[in-house]
Structure 1
Amino acid sequence: MPDRSGATLFKDLPEEIINKILVLLASKDVGRCRVVNTSWRSATSTPEFMLQHHRRQPSLPIVDGLGRPANHVVLGDAGAGASNQQLWPFPLGSKRRFEDQLKGVCDGFLIIYRGHKFYICNPVTRKHALLPQPQVGQGIHNIMIGLYRHHPTGEYRVLWVSRSHQTSESSLYVLTVGSNRPRCISVTMPTVSSSSAEEKLWNKLHSSSDRSSPVHYNGSLHWHSYDKREITGGGGDIIVYDTETESFRWMRSPTQPCRYRKLFDMEGTLAWCGGSVSKSTSMDVWVMQDYEAEIWAFKYRIDLSTVEASRQLYLTSLKKKKSRPLEYAVQLFNDMAVLNERELLIWFNNKYVLRCDIDGKFLGIVNIGKSQYRMWLTHLRLKESIVPIPGHKMQEDEEPPFSTGHV
Structure 2
Amino acid sequence: MKTKGRRNKRLRYIRLFAALIAVPLICYTIYYIADVFFNGAFVDWFTHRFVYEQTVYEGETAYVERQIAWNVLKPFLAKVFLLAAAFFALSLAFVSYFSQKRKAEKLLLDTSRKIHQYMHSELEAEEIFPSEYAQVSTQIVQIKADMQQKERRLKEEAQKKNDLITYLAHDLKTPLTSVLGYLNLLEEAPDMPAAQREKYVHTALGKAERLDSLIEEFFEITRYNLQNMVLEKENLDVSYMMIQMTEEFYPVLSSGHNTVRLELPQEFFVYADSQKLARVFNNLLKNAIAYSYPDTEIVVRGEQQGEQAVISFENHGKTIPKQKLDLIFEKFFRMDEARKSNTGGAGLGLAIAKEIVELHGGSISAESKQEKTVFRVTLPEKPSN
**Fold agreement, TM-score > 0.5:** no
Write 1 or 2 for the structure with the bigger share of strand: 1
Q: Which has the larger radius of gyration?
A: 2
Write 1 or 2 for the structure with the bigger share of helix: 2
Q: Which has the higher contact order (CA 8 A, sep 6+)?
A: 1
